[in-house]
Amino acid sequence: MYYDVTIAGFGGQGIMAIGNILAEAAMREGKNVTYWPSYSAEMRGGTANCTVVISTNEIGSPVVAFPISAIIMNLPSLKKYQSRIRKDGLLIVNTSLIDQGEIQRDDVDIVKAPLISLAREAGNDRLSNMVALGIFLAKTQVVRLDSLFETFRIVLDERYHHLIPSNKKAIQRGIDFVTKLT
Amino acid sequence: MKQVFKRPESLRDVSFHFCPGCHHGIIHRLVAEAIDRLRIRTKTIGIASVGCSVFLYDYFDTDVCEAPHGRAPAVATGVKRVHKDRIVFAFQGDGDLAAIGTSEIIHAANRGENITVIFVNNTVYGMTGGQMAPTTMLGQHTTTTPRGRSFLGDGYPLKVSELLATLEGCSFVARVAVNNPANVRRARKMILKAFEMQVNNMGFSFVEVLSACPTNWKMTPLDALKRVDNELIPYFPLKVFREKTIPDKL
Amino acid sequence: MNDSRKRLINGNQAIAAAAIDAGCRYYFSYPITPQSEIPEYLSLHLPEVGGTFLQAESEIASINMVLGASAAGARAMTSSSGPGISLKQEGLSYMAADELPALIVNISRTGPGLGGIAASQGDYFQATKGGGHGDYRIIVLAPSSVQEMYDLTIKGFDLADTYRTPVMILADSVLGQMKESVVMGGRKKSTPTKKDWALTGCEGRSPSIIKSLYLDGDKSSEHNRKLFEKYQRIQKNEVICELNRCKDADLILIAFGSAARIAKTSIETAREKGIKVGMLRPITLFPFPNQQVRDISTNIKDILVVEQNTGQMVEDVLISASENARVTFYGKPSGNVLEAEEILCQIERCMNKVGT
């Protein structure tokens, strides 16, 4: 099996965090994985993106020009990446920050999700990244939910450990959102 | 007959190559005496710098590492961090320490590196042929200030001891001269004290030695001695600028 | 297989962890991106094993602290990126002359000048041709995975001690920032060799001197010849390169580091299309695998060199390749990272020429 995803948005949206969680979970399932981050010089507010490749074979390039899937958290990222997603791939768009009219692809599976509202419903509107991860998981089943949960204590900084229950709730909210779509 | 004068054990039995009237030889001897006195020769690692001082390894009967120009305090830092129980000293001239190595000396001092630096200030680049040094006096003619050093364009002679004395990391900062017997005796005491600071883990210790360079000053050795008194000392006063008290050992 | 010894870390962290595992206890550096994880990791973990972490006032001071620590007999290391590595060249030249071992890590930037922190192989010339003043070389290792960042760091310390020479790990932000699973430790422990030349104070022996000044012409020639003979020994004994799918290949792609890693995907895709392409990946950049390139280009005439720069390693390939070889170069200037698809295009273009 081979799967890759590009996750992109503003710095501070937790882009790198969900990339790390996904990569760590895949590794724990015995798969080969690469995680490649790219960000601008600012600590906050700049653009941030990362690419995760998961495969049962040896992974060549960690850099993926044309990803199978993308989680897009803001408008600049949509403009940059939507044309690059492979045909029949997956595009998850944060409609809390992006006008749906900006979506131009009709040959990929598109999930339009108001991530901030969904995160608020789950109890913390800052966890839109986790909602997105839940959606991604439900759509792709590329890793198991329990593997994902196991990684929290490793990937998240200790000062955020008290937020682990709310993170789990936000992921679950994402999963439920997909279930209701189908 | 009773022997009253001999070569310090820490110096090798070779002749100095220094020019007639140069003070390097005296300063080498005073450093060697301090090492002998503290019985640390086989624990000492010297750091040679670039310039006339590079030949430290030909004269000192201790381990010696050569450093790139100006970097002796950084090299000394590396050595000392590995061998905390050894005595590490750097021997640097004014071009080396006060120009190209300004950054290294200030930060080694500020970190309070437990090393000793002997700074030979003869107001000129000696080995390269008498060019202007950061410590060259105003009006002094050198091969690169043929009309004399002017503060317009060349700046003022740098007072390194005064600068370093402001840094908390320094345990001892003093300026001495070796142009007459009284000054030599005082210099011997100060250099010994600087090494004692290191032996007692007091942090960075520093002695600036005003030194004559008759060749590049284009003077006779005797006139050079007078110049130290008449021109250098009034601008570079002989003084202990900073001295921490070594706590009495129980 | 789920291996509990596996850890997901980035390339910079792998280098830092490997340094500790290799017995390095002295690290001196100055901050610069994109290698910050190395000092961050070591500032936290070196003191735990009794090691020394010192953030120096400058790149120049840090390499000279490494010089001092190495002269004192310790395994020592520094890391930086392009502009910082330029500043360290003075110290590197002295260390090559003084025959002092140490590990220097260059996670390149996209220079010249300040450049950026994106992908770059622009420091190949600087790393492999000496870099500083004088006639010398240092061993240069080019990892292309996070596991290799770990393994080659340990090997680098061993090579440095064996040959009494600085060794450089040359990588870029692609390898420094990417995370992969790494298996650490468990291998044969690297042990620092006994260094009877080290400065320790001359208790019970005659004083030792470490220096590079030889004013006497004969002595200077003799010293430089000694260094030259060492580089010849290194060239003879230490070449490492990976040959991948070369046996039946019509075209050999030559690339190192991040470019080689990305090209692996291009080669896989090409193979799926029935194009017979293989790869020669130099892992030691100095010593360069001259003989391996010569041998392979005697059998397979078409060579494609791919670099994340405008043409540096290709010069070594041209020197090494057999007279009949046809060497094509594809370089992408430092900055935007190479893409597997553009390398695939180049492979296809080369294949159209094969047999003509």
Asked if B43 reaches chain C (Cβ–Cβ under 8 Å), the answer is: yes
Q: Do B81 and C26 touch (CB under 8 A)?
A: yes
Residues 6+ apart with CB under 8 A from C206: none
DSSP result, B140-209: --BTTBTT---HHHH-PPP-HHHHHTT-TTEEEEEEEE-SSHHHHHHHHHHHHHHHHHHHTT--EEEEEE
pTM (2 decimals)?
0.95
pLDDT tens string C320-335:
999 989 999 999 999 9
Could you please state the CATH topology (level 3) that the domain comprising A2-181 is classified under.
Answer: Pyruvate-ferredoxin Oxidoreductase; domain 3 (3.40.920)
Produce one character per residue of A97-136: b if its CB has 16 or more CB atoms within 10 Å, e if not: bbeeeebeeeebebbebbbbebbbbbeebebbbbbbbbbb
- In this predicted model, which residue has the larger pLDDT, B131 or A39? B131
Q: Best mutation site among C54, C64, C200, C202 for testing chain B: the one with the most B CBs within 10 Å?
A: C64
Average pLDDT over residues C58-79: 98
Question: In terms of DSSP bridges, do strands A47-55 and A32-39 run parallel, antiparallel, or are they unpaired?
Answer: antiparallel
Q: Do C8 and A23 touch (CB under 8 A)?
A: yes
Chain A residue nearest residue C338, CA to CA: A63
Q: Which chains does A contact via 3+ CB–CB distances below 8 A?
A: C
Could you please state the CATH topology (level 3) that the domain comprising C6-193+211-237 is classified under.
Answer: Rossmann fold (3.40.50)
Q: Say if residues B119 and B209 touch (Cβ distance below 8 Å).
A: yes
| Size of the A and C interface in Cβ pairs below 8 Å | 71
Q: Say if residues C197 and B83 touch (Cβ distance below 8 Å).
A: no
The C residues from 98 to 137 touching A (CB cutoff 8 Å) are 117
Residue C2 has pLDDT above 60, yes or no: no
Q: For A60, which of C3, C181, C261 is closest by C-beta distance?
A: C261
Q: Give the pLDDT score at C354.
A: 65
**Domain ranges (residues) in chain C:** 6-193+211-237, 241-353
Shortest distance between the Cα of C38 and any Cα of chain B, in A, equals: 19
Average pLDDT over residues B149-171: 97
pLDDT tens string C219-228:
999 999 999 9
Q: Say if residues A23 and A50 touch (Cβ distance below 8 Å).
A: no
pLDDT tens string C188-247:
566 667 899 999 999 999 999 999 999 999 999 999 999 999 999 999 999 999 999 999
C23 CB neighbours in chain B (<8 A) are none
Asked if A21 reaches chain C (Cβ–Cβ under 8 Å), the answer is: no
Q: Do C202 and B61 touch (CB under 8 A)?
A: yes
Q: For B78, which of C28, C98, C208 is closest by C-beta distance?
A: C28
Q: Do C64 and B80 touch (CB under 8 A)?
A: no
The span from the first CA to the last CA of chain C, in angstroms, equals 47
Shortest distance between the Cα of A155 and any Cα of chain C, in A, equals: 10
Average pLDDT over residues C83-107: 98
Asked if C272 reaches chain B (Cβ–Cβ under 8 Å), the answer is: no
Shortest distance between the Cα of B11 and any Cα of chain C, in A, equals: 11
Stretches where chain A sits below pLDDT 50 are none
Q: Give the pLDDT score at A40.
A: 57
Q: For C337, which of A20, A60, A63 is closest by C-beta distance?
A: A63
Asked if B141 reaches chain C (Cβ–Cβ under 8 Å), the answer is: no
In CATH terms, are C6-193+211-237 and C241-353 the same topology? yes
- SS3 string of C265-309? HHHHHHHHCCCCEEEEEECEEECCCHHHHHHHHHHCCEEEEEECC
The A residues from 57 to 86 touching C (CB cutoff 8 Å) are 58-66
Residue C305 has pLDDT above 90, yes or no: yes
Q: For A60, which of C178, C337, C340 is closest by C-beta distance?
A: C340
Q: Do B66 and C212 touch (CB under 8 A)?
A: yes
DSSP C110: S
pLDDT tens string B183-196:
999 999 999 999 99
Q: Give the pLDDT score at C1.
A: 43
Q: Best mutation site among A28, A40, A53, A63 for testing chain C: the one with the most C CBs within 10 Å?
A: A63
B103 CB neighbours in chain C (<8 A) are 57-58, 60-61
Asked if A2 reaches chain C (Cβ–Cβ under 8 Å), the answer is: no
Residues 6+ apart with CB under 8 A from A20: A35, A151, A155, C8, C179
| Nearest partner of B80 among B110, B32, B116, judged by Cα | B116
Q: For A61, which of C6, C117, C264 is closest by C-beta distance?
A: C264
Shortest distance between the Cα of C178 and any Cα of chain A, in A, equals: 4
Ramachandran angles phi, psi of B15, nearest 5° = -85, 145
C1 CB neighbours in chain A (<8 A) are 30
Give the type of residue at A32.
N
Question: In terms of DSSP bridges, do strands C6-10 and C179-183 run parallel, antiparallel, or are they unpaired?
Answer: antiparallel
Q: Which chains does C contact via 3+ CB–CB distances below 8 A?
A: A, B
Residue C3 has pLDDT above 60, yes or no: no
Asked if C262 reaches chain A (Cβ–Cβ under 8 Å), the answer is: yes
Asked if A149 reaches chain C (Cβ–Cβ under 8 Å), the answer is: no
Asked if C208 reaches chain B (Cβ–Cβ under 8 Å), the answer is: yes
Q: For C72, which of B61, B82, B106 is closest by C-beta distance?
A: B82
Ramachandran angles phi, psi of C352, nearest 5° = -65, -25
Question: In terms of DSSP bridges, do strands C284-286 and C326-331 run parallel, antiparallel, or are they unpaired?
Answer: unpaired
Q: Do B75 and C64 touch (CB under 8 A)?
A: yes
DSSP B248: P
Shortest distance between the Cα of C76 and any Cα of chain B, in A, equals: 9
| CATH top class, domain B24-243 | alpha beta
Q: Write out the two tokens for C127.
A: 């790393």
Q: Do C207 and B81 touch (CB under 8 A)?
A: no
B39 CB neighbours in chain C (<8 A) are none
Q: Give the pLDDT score at C356.
A: 54
Q: Best mutation site among C10, C180, C244, C268 for testing chain A: the one with the most A CBs within 10 Å?
A: C180
Could you please state the CATH topology (level 3) that the domain comprising C241-353 is classified under.
Answer: Rossmann fold (3.40.50)
Q: Give the pLDDT score at C31.
A: 96
Q: Do C181 and A29 touch (CB under 8 A)?
A: no
Asked if A20 reaches chain C (Cβ–Cβ under 8 Å), the answer is: yes
A34 CB neighbours in chain C (<8 A) are 178-180
How many residues are there in chain B?
Answer: 250
ipTM of the complex: 0.95
Q: Best mutation site among B79, B106, B113 for testing chain C: the one with the most C CBs within 10 Å?
A: B79
Q: Write out the two tokens for B27.
A: 């300063």
Q: For C202, which of B63, B75, B78 is closest by C-beta distance?
A: B63
Q: Please state, rounded to an integer, the average pLDDT across all residues of chain C.
A: 95
Q: What percent of chain C shows pLDDT beyond 70?
A: 96
Out of A17-31, A38-52, B120-134, C165-179, least confident range: A38-52
Give the type of residue at C49.
V
Residues B3, B4, B8, B14, CA torsion sign: negative
**Domain ranges (residues) in chain B:** 24-243
Under the banding of pLDDT at 50, 70 and 90, the label for residue C353 is confident
| Size of the B and C interface in Cβ pairs below 8 Å | 131
pLDDT tens string B201-247:
999 999 999 999 999 999 999 999 999 999 999 999 999 999 999 98
| Nearest partner of A94 among A180, A4, A169, A9, judged by Cα | A9
Instruction: Quickly list H helices, chain B.
Output: 24-37, 56-59, 72-82, 94-95, 102-110, 151-154, 160-164, 181-199, 214-217, 221-227, 233-235
In angstroms, rounded to a whole number, what is the distance separating the alpha carbons of residues B128 and C15?
A: 42
C262 CB neighbours in chain A (<8 A) are 60-63
A35 CB neighbours in chain C (<8 A) are 8, 10, 178-180
- In this predicted model, which residue has the larger pLDDT, B1 or C235? C235
CA atoms within 13 A on the CB side of B217: 25
The count of other CB atoms within 10 Å of the CB of residue B103 is 17
Q: Which single residue is written with the structure tokens 């920032």?
A: C177
Q: For C201, which of B45, B66, B78 is closest by C-beta distance?
A: B45
C52 CB neighbours in chain B (<8 A) are 81
Q: Do C68 and B86 touch (CB under 8 A)?
A: no
